């Protein structure tokens, strides 16, 4: 860097929680306010190096603070360790800009517009969504606004519990990562490497202590002592290897795509004996879920379908990106057509582009408040050096006032959060409100439906013209699934632009290393030249960890064929017909 | 602090200081050090003037300011030199530690002298290496900081690769017997000491014991050897580290060699470079510190402590780096099977001088399902001559791969063979040499 | 070279059924490649297991090239260059020696057999030595068997 540090050089450090998933990793975010006097361009070039993982990689960001991560080694959750998403947290952060109909405005103006829109709509025409992308305090503030409007705040997970009734008593609050480490048996229903990477470490420790780790899924995991291939639509009742007992910790996750049927089966089979650890996809999904536990919420598919039909006029999203969460291109169109979408966000995410009103709040790392992770641990985020501006909370308070409600007091809301969650304020302790006698587990899974259609893809496969039958044997059909991960949920691209398929399928499709594949979806759309990776997994499936153009929803039927690359490419078709 | 003669060979971590916390906090009484000479004096002669300081000189020093001596143990010499350098304009900034608890701190850059004074007190639980942090300001205004030997080795390696301007960095090296993982010590505090971590006010290592001082003034101590049996003591790489005195810095400070007469009241300092002499002279002239010539006995004692530590390191090294059995390739595959490719090990690596576009990442493709990733193969090679053994890689690995041990496995044989100690001097890294004869 | 990838490349089957090692050989443009040429012109017999990669100087061979060759399924890697003192670029092969020492130590430490990476100086006039070197290496690697770094399924 060829600049000099200006006399007003300032450095702020915040003790934050990574927003990649609900694991609750502690991280320090460091803001360097450095006035680069000379050689701005070269300073930018230098600042892109890995050591100073910063946001100033674009020329425009030169005046913005340089952002770095620091490892918070005293964190009880991750001991400072971070996954790929966390390590690049600073690079991927892009602040939101307040806007109305795409034009930048001040926060106050955006709040006034939002209040006007909300006042103009009936309670039945408003939906409020907060999946847990921000602190408990902001979620609770939004709940207060919702109460004023007579609209409950949805967390997107209702669909899961609505049908299972009392089963949420088993959602594993209080099962800590230490419990996983000391378990005798761990049943895995997630891919820790991709979905919740920091969990892998706990499993490594469990394995060292002699635990049996059984992975149920499509892919073989090196961490597992036993891999059981389970198709996503198979009932757990049909899997003899699934025999949980009192020493078992069952690790699964609760996402909008979790099938309530599968979830109910898990709980029924465990019979109240085993411990559950339910991972969460969003930073504060657990906190938001427990705060909104008793409210009558709209389910995700209800919000999506009613927005589409125009029944919902105003949609408020608090740090919740519907487009990214739904993995659905159609969602973008729906929101763009929708009358009024109000986004309150600390980051510029995909939905900000389609929203009518964007209320920008302070960066996630500057937020003061608490976040509850998958264990049920309440983690306080705070400034270690510098100030917490509380703009997000104040914006919600102003919105409340504009709607005729009271101004909100931060300290009061903080206290209310702690009492509502019944959690210890000490992040080193996980406390659970006293448990009532667990309800008797009734078998409900056979009555539950599979996932709602809204998630099933861009178009109904039945209405699509069936993909033309290949005249060559060198094509395989597969079910395409997304392996959800922090990058996918947050709409951030990583270097994972490939499809994972099994070696058997690679052979069947005569794919060569270094070559690419053409993937056709059931609707006939072709994505050419997709890279592929050979993975130890079940035949007949294809897995992606990033949004693929050929898969409009989380589940899609595709066929994979080797793509012709060069004009002088060798003729393999002839070879495989022999 | 411990006097060397009281130190049994089983006291590994005595007298180590973390960077930014220049002087260990101790129960140093206020007021001038005693005038009467005990049987084995630390210092000889009268208080020296600035002109008495020369490169290679060994002194016993302390801060003139009563408060500094009280706050920072061992006489507060390091704090005094840093404060003097900042106030007299020798440097524009100082890197200090901002503590939020006894288990947690962040390094920050400051030009406020009060921050320098406030950062006194030892902290063995801060285990970051400031090299990469410093690199952001590489060519900017002059910066002073206190470093552990491994920090300094990282800085030197960056200097060799032209990524840090050595002329603008002033370092005070602190003796280091090892550092500890904060979360492990926190756990030990509760489970072994039976103390509420929130009540811990200060920590200290004395005579091989980790002492925690609680807010009620009580001292709780445990043997570090016993803690280490449960892997709760010093980090693994500290246990086999071969550089305990930061001879590669400008001023090598510590309390090894400080005799009972100055225990807790004086710091042993060796002037390593002309710049070091300049900064020490500045502190004396500016009225921040006083020094006396160190006695023969003190110098000897310091060497003895160092010798004991190094011997123990060598023993641990032998225990850890047993020659691998056959099929080592399978062992490596097994060790690396959980790697999630986060790249944190490279990001924190102090000698790694490549930017975002590095050989280890540019040709490593997650779509390639190799048994061992190219990333690790390249890293193994690159660190053969440049690994400083700081262990940052293991600390940040999200799947707890013992990376430092793996890197040292490759680095030890070649560094031993070439008689090359990374980051101790300006010698060209062997991999960059043109002729093999020059390497050997 | 045929335009059609031989069936053996697709199926991984060898016509004789025995182990047929794949060897990657880096030859410097000025000496070793000319040596290889010489071997061909003089019709010295040598096995066809070697894939020659021409580089301008042996010092151009980066450790990354060697590792990639192994990871992509090579059973051995051979490095060749001009004799010391004959380098077209003054001291390129001196640097090769330094690199070779490091890579060799690293691979040995990792557990790869000694015979899988070899450095030999072959001048432009040493066609015979070239052929002999290749023959010798192929025999050696055949005795060692497939490389442990080769991924299952790679042919």
Tokens 């995700």 belong to A300
Q: Which long-range contacts (CB under 8 A, 24 or more apart) does B33-41 make?
A: B33/B62, B33/B75, B33/B261, B33/B262, B33/B265, B33/B266, B34/B261, B37/B261, B38/B259, B38/B260, B38/B261, B40/B5, B40/B259, B40/B260, B40/B261, B40/B295, B40/B297, B41/B259, B41/B261, B41/B295, B41/B297, B41/B298
Residue A5 lies in a domain: no
Q: What is the pLDDT of residue B19?
A: 37
As for how many domains chain A has, the answer is 4
- The answer to whether residue C101 neighbours chain B at the CB level (below 8 Å) is yes
- CA-wise closest residue to A534 among C150, C151, C5, C11: C151
Residue A503: closest CA among chain C residues belongs to which residue?
A: C153
CATH: 3.40.50.410, 3.40.50.960, 3.40.630.30, 3.60.150.10. Which one for C20-142?
3.40.50.960
Same domain, A266 and A368: no
Is residue C25 within 8 Å of C50, Cβ to Cβ?
A: yes
Q: In terms of C-beta density within 10 A (0-12 exposed, 13-18 middle, 19 or more buried), how is residue B418 classed?
A: middle
3-class secondary-structure state, position A77: coil
Taking only the tens place, the pLDDT of each residue in A73-107 is 999 999 999 999 999 999 888 899 999 998 999 99
Q: Higher model confidence: residue B80 or residue A557?
A: B80
Taken in order A137, A140, A145, A148, is the CA torsion positive or negative?
negative
Q: What DSSP designation does B52 have?
A: G
Residue A210 Cα, gap to closest chain C Cα (Å): 27
> Who's near B105: CB < 8 A, 6+ residues apart?
B20, B97, B98, B99, B123, B126
pLDDT tens digits along A232-266? 888 889 999 999 988 999 999 888 888 878 888 88
A343 belongs to a structural domain: yes
Interior angle at CA A336, CA A331 and CA A337, nearest 5? 100
Model confidence at C2, pLDDT cuts 50, 70, 90, reads very low
- pLDDT at A37 (0 to 100): 43
Domain encompassing residue A204 = 164-281
* A286: nearest Cα among A167, A371, A200: A371
Interface test with C, best of A220, A570, A576, A578 (most C CBs within 10 A): A570
The answer to whether the CB atoms of C153 and A510 lie below 8 A apart is no
The DSSP symbol for B399 reads T
Are residues A444 and A262 in contact, defined by beta-carbon separation less than 8 angstroms? Answer: no
Q: Would you give the distance in Å from CA B176 to the centre of its chain?
A: 5
Indicate the helix (H) or strand (E) that contains B310. Answer: helix B296-320
A443-487 pLDDT, tens digit each: 777 777 666 554 554 444 444 444 444 445 578 888 888 898 999
Decide if B397 and A83 are in contact by the 8 Å CB cutoff.
no
Q: Indicate whether A433 belongs to any domain.
A: no
Within this chain, do residues A258 and A337 fall inside the same structural domain, yes or no?
A: no
* DSSP SS3 for B249: coil
pLDDT bracket for residue A35 (50, 70, 90): low
- What is residue A295's DSSP assignment? S
- Phi first, then psi: give them for residue B206, nearest 5 degrees: -145, 130
Q: Touching A: which chains, 3+ CB pairs < 8 A?
A: B, C
Confidence bin at A438 (pLDDT 50/70/90): low
Please indicate, yes or no, if residue A557 is contained in any of the structural domains: yes
- List chain B residues with CB under 8 Å of C149: 329, 370-372
Q: Span A132-154, mean pLDDT?
A: 93
Angstrom distance (rounded) from CA A9 to CA B168:
17
Q: Is residue A439 part of a domain?
A: no
* pLDDT bracket for residue A433 (50, 70, 90): confident
Q: Which among A68, A92, A116 is the end of a domain? A: A92
Distance between alpha carbon A161 and the CA centroid of its chain, in Å? Answer: 19
> Does B137 contact A5 at a Cβ distance shorter than 8 Å?
yes
The CA-atom distances, in angstroms, between C151 and each of A78, A503, B205, B341, B357 are 33, 12, 50, 19, 27
Which of A514, A537, A575, A577 is best to mutate for the C interface (most C CBs within 10 A)?
A575
Q: Where are the domains of chain B?
A: 4-314, 328-439
Residues A462 and A550 in one domain: yes
Residue A129 lies in a domain: yes
| pLDDT the model gives residue B25 | 38
Looking at the predicted structure, is the pLDDT value of residue A6 above 70? no
SS (H, E, C) A118-171: HHCCCHHHEEEECCCCCCHHHHHHHHHHHHHHCCCEECCCHHHHHHHHHHHHHC
Angstrom distance (rounded) from CA B335 to CA B340: 12
Confidence (pLDDT) at B15: 38
Chain C residue closest in CA terms to A573: C4
Give CA angle at A140 (A139, A146), nearest 5°: 90
pLDDT at A522: 74
| pLDDT band per the 50, 70, 90 thresholds, residue A167 | low
> CB B439 to CB C151 under 8 A?
no
**Statement to judge: residues A409 and A300 lie in one domain:** yes
> What is the tens place of the pLDDT at every residue in A220-231?
999 999 999 998
> Which residues of chain B are under the pLDDT cut of 50?
1-32, 34, 36-38
User: C146: helix, coil or strand?
Assistant: coil
Q: Do C3 and A572 touch (CB under 8 A)?
A: no
Are the Cβ atoms of B93 and A80 closer than 8 angstroms?
A: no
C-alpha span between B47 and A297 (Å, rounded)? 77
pLDDT of residue A79: 92
Whether A207 contacts chain B with CB within 8 A: no
CA separation for the pair A12, A19 (Å, rounded): 19
Residue of C7, C9, C19, C103 lying closest to C61 (CA atoms):
C103
Question: Which residues 42-71 on chain A approach chain B with CB closer than 8 angstroms?
Answer: 46-53, 66, 68, 70-71
Q: Within a domain: residue A88?
A: yes
Decide if C64 and B413 are in contact by the 8 Å CB cutoff: no
Residues A51 and A139 in one domain: no
**What is the rounded distance in angstroms from the CA atom of residue A221 to the CA atom of residue A203?**
11
If asked whether residues A346 and A231 sit together in one domain, one would say no
Residue A441, chain C, CB below 8 Å: the answer is no
Tens digit of pLDDT for each residue in A344-391? 999 998 889 889 999 999 999 999 999 999 998 999 999 988 888 899
d(CA B146, CA B152): 9
- The side-by-side arrangement of strands in the sheet containing C50-55 is C50-55, C23-28, C76-81, C117-121
pLDDT at residue B369, rounded to an integer: 78
Choose, out of B327, B333, B434, the residue to mutate when testing the contact with C (most C CBs < 10 Å).
B434
In 3D space, the residue among A97, A53, A63 whose CA is nearest the CA of residue A349 turns out to be A97
User: Has residue A184 been placed in a domain?
Assistant: yes
Structure-token match 């020493």, residue found: A247
Question: Hey, are the CB atoms on A82 and B340 less than 8 Å from each other?
Answer: no
Q: How far is CA A131 from the centre of its chain?
A: 9
Are residues A307 and A356 located together in one domain of the fold?
yes
Q: Which of residues 220-239 of A touch B (CB under 8 A)?
A: 222-223
Chain-chain contact of A575 with C10 (C-beta, under 8 angstroms): yes
CB A371, CB A137: distance < 8 Å = no
Question: Taken in order A46, A47, A52, A58, is the CA torsion positive or negative?
Answer: negative
User: Among candidates A243, A319, A264, which has minimal Cα distance to A17?
Assistant: A319
What is the residue extent of each domain of chain C? 20-142
Window 304-343 of B: residues touching C by CB (8 A cutoff) are 324, 326-332
- A71 confidence band (pLDDT: 50, 70, 90): very high
Element housing C70 (H / E): helix C63-71
Is A436 part of the contact surface with chain C (CB cutoff 8 Å)? no
pLDDT beyond 90 at C27? yes
Same domain, A317 and A409: yes
Chain A residue at shortest CA distance from B185 = A74
Strands A99-100 and A103-104: antiparallel
Judged by CB atoms closer than 8 Å, whether chains meet at C105 and B435 is answered as no
Distance, first Cα to last Cα, chain A: 62
The answer to whether B355 contacts A49, with C-beta atoms less than 8 Å apart, is: yes
Q: How many CB atoms lie within 10 A of CB B428?
A: 13
Name the pTM for this structure: 0.88
The neighbours of chain C, by the rule of 3 or more Cβ pairs under 8 Å, are: A, B
Q: What DSSP line would sit under A396-461, residue for residue?
A: HHHHHHHTT-PPPPHHHHHHHHHHHHT--S-TT----PPPPPPPPP---GGG---S-GGGS-SS-G
Residue A45 predicted with pLDDT over 50 = no
CB pair distance less than 8 Å for A578 and C153: no
How far is residue C7's CA from residue C30's CA, in Å, rounded to a whole number?
35
Chain C residues close to B409, C-beta within 8 Å:
109
The answer to whether residue A9 scores a pLDDT higher than 80 is no
Of the pLDDT bands very low, low, confident and very high (cuts 50, 70, 90), residue A568 is: low
Which pLDDT belongs to residue A144?
94
**Distance to chain B for C64, nearest Cα, Å:** 7
Q: Which of B378, B380, B431 faces C98 most closely, judged by CB atoms?
A: B431
Residues of A in contact with C8 (CB under 8 A): none
Among A224, A252, A281, the domain boundary falls at A281
Q: How many angstroms away from the CA of B410 is the closest CA of chain C?
A: 6
Nearest to A369 by CA among A138, A542, A214: A138
């Amino acid at each position: 860097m060829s600049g000099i540090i200006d006399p007003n050089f300032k450095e702020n450090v915040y003790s934050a929680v990574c927003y990649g998933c609900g694991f609750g990793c502690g991280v320090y975010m460091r803001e360097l306010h450095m006035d680069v006097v000379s050689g701005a361009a070269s300073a930018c070039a230098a600042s892109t190096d890995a050591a100073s993982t910063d946001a100033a990689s674009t020329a425009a960001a030169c005046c913005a603070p340089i952002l770095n991560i620091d490892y918070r080694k005293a964190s009880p959750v991750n001991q400072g360790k971070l996954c790929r998403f966390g390590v690049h947290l600073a690079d991927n952060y892009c602040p939101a800009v307040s806007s109305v109909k795409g034009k930048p405005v001040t926060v106050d103006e955006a709040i006034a517009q939002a209040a006007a829109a909300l006042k103009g709509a009936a309670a039945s025409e408003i939906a409020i969504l907060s999946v847990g992308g921000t602190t408990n305090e902001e979620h609770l503030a939004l709940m207060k606004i919702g109460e004023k409007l007579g609209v409950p705040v949805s967390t997107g997970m209702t669909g899961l519990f609505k049908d299972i009734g009392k089963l949420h008593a088993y959602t594993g609050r209080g099962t800590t990562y230490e419990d996983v480490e000391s378990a005798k048996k761990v049943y895995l229903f997630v891919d820790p490497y991709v979905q919740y990477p920091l969990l892998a470490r706990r499993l490594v420790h469990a394995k060292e202590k002699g635990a049996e780790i059984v992975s149920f899924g499509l892919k073989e995991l090196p961490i597992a002592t036993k891999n059981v291939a389970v198709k996503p639509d198979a009932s757990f009742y049909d899997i003899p290897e699934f025999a949980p007992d009192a020493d078992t910790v069952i690790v699964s996750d609760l996402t909008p795509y979790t099938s309530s049927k599968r979830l109910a089966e898990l709980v029924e089979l465990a019979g109240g004996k085993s411990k559950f650890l339910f991972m969460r996809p969003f930073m504060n999904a657990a906190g938001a879920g427990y705060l909104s536990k008793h409210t009558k919420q709209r389910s995700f598919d209800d919000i999506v379908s009613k927005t589409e039909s125009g029944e919902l006029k105003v949609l408020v999203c608090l740090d919740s990106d519907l487009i990214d969460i739904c993995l659905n291109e159609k969602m973008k169109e729906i929101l763009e057509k929708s009358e009024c979408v109000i986004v309150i966000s600390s980051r510029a995410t995909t939905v900000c582009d389609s929203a009518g009103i964007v209320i920008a709040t302070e960066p996630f790392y500057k937020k003061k408040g608490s976040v509850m992770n998958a264990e049920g641990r309440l983690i306080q985020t705070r400034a270690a050096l510098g100030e917490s501006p509380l703009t997000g909370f104040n914006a919600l308070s102003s919105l409340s006032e504009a709607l005729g409600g009271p101004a909100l007091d931060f300290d009061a809301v903080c206290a209310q959060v702690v009492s509502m969650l019944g959690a210890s304020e000490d992040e080193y302790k996980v406390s659970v409100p006293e448990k009532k006698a667990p309800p008797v587990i009734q078998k409900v899974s056979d009555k539950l439906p599979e996932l709602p259609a809204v998630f099933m893809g861009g178009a109904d496969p039945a209405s699509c013209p069936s993909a033309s039958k290949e005249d060559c044997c060198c094509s395989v059909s597969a079910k395409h699934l997304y392996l959800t991960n922090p990058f996918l949920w947050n709409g951030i691209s990583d270097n994972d632009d490939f499809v994972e398929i099994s070696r058997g399928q690679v052979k069947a499709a005569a794919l060569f290393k270094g070559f690419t594949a053409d993937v056709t979806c059931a609707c006939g759309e072709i994505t050419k030249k997709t890279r592929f990776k050979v993975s130890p997994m079940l035949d007949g499936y294809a897995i992606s960890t990033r949004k693929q153009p050929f898969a409009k929803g989380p589940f899609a039927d595709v066929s994979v064929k080797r793509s012709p690359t060069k004009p002088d490419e060798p003729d393999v078709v002839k070879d495989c017909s022999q | 602090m411990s006097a060397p003669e009281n130190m049994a060979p089983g006291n590994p971590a005595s007298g180590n200081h973390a960077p930014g916390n220049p002087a260990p906090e101790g129960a140093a009484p206020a007021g001038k050090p005693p005038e009467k000479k005990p049987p084995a004096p630390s210092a000889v002669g009268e208080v020296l003037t600035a002109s008495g300081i020369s490169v290679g000189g060994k002194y016993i020093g302390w801060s003139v300011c009563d408060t500094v001596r009280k706050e920072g143990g061992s006489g507060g010499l390091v704090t005094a030199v840093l404060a003097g350098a900042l106030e007299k304009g020798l440097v524009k900034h100082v890197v200090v530690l901002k503590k939020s608890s006894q288990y947690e701190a962040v390094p920050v850059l400051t030009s406020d002298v009060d921050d320098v004074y406030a950062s006194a007190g030892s902290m063995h639980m801060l285990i970051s290496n400031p090299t990469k942090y410093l690199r952001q300001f590489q060519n900017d205004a002059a910066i002073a900081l206190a470093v552990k030997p491994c920090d300094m080795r990282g800085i030197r390696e960056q200097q060799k690769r032209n990524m840090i301007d050595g002329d603008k960095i002033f370092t005070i090296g602190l003796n280091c017997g090892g550092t500890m993982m904060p979360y492990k010590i926190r756990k030990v505090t509760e489970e072994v000491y039976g103390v509420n971590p929130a009540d811990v006010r200060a920590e200290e290592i004395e005579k091989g014991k980790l002492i925690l001082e609680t807010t009620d003034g009580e001292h709780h101590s445990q043997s570090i050897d016993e803690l280490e049996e449960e892997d709760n003591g010093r980090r693994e790489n500290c246990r086999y580290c071969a550089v305990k005195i930061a001879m590669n810095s400008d001023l090598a400070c510590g309390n090894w060699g400080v005799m009972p007469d100055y225990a807790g009241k004086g710091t042993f300092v060796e002037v390593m470079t002309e710049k070091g002499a300049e900064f020490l002279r500045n502190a004396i002239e500016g009225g921040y510190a006083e020094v006396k010539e160190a006695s023969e006995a003190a110098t000897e004692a310091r060497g003895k402590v160092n010798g004991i530590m190094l011997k123990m390191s060598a023993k641990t090294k032998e225990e850890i780096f047993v020659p691998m059995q056959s099929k080592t390739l399978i062992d490596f595959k097994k060790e690396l099977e959980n790697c999630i490719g986060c790249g944190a090990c490279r990001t924190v690596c102090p000698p790694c001088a490549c930017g975002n576009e590095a050989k280890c990442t540019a040709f490593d493709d997650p779509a390639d399902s190799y048994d061992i990733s190219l990333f690790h193969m390249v890293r193994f090679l690159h660190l053969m001559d440049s690994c400083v053994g700081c262990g940052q890689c293991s600390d940040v690995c999200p799947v707890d791969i013992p990376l430092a041990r793996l890197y040292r496995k490759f680095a030890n044989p070649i560094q031993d063979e070439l008689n090359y100690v990374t980051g101790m001097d300006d010698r060209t890294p062997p991999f960059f040499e043109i002729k093999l004869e020059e390497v050997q | 070279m045929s335009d059609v990838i031989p069936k053996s490349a697709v199926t991984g089957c060898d016509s004789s059924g025995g182990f047929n090692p794949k060897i990657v050989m880096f030859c410097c443009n000025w000496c070793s490649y000319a040596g290889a040429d010489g071997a061909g012109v003089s019709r010295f017999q040598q096995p066809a297991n070697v894939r020659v990669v021409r580089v301008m100087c042996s010092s151009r061979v980066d450790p990354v090239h060697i590792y990639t060759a192994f990871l992509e399924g090579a059973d051995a890697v051979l490095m060749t260059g001009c004799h010391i003192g004959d380098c077209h670029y003054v001291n390129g092969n001196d640097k090769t020696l330094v690199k070779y020492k490091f890579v060799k130590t690293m691979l040995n430490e990792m557990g790869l057999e000694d015979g899988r990476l070899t450095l030999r100086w072959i001048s432009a006039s040493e066609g015979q030595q070239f052929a002999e070197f290749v023959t010798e290496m192929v025999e050696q690697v055949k005795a060692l068997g497939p490389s442990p770094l080769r991924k299952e399924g790679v042919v």
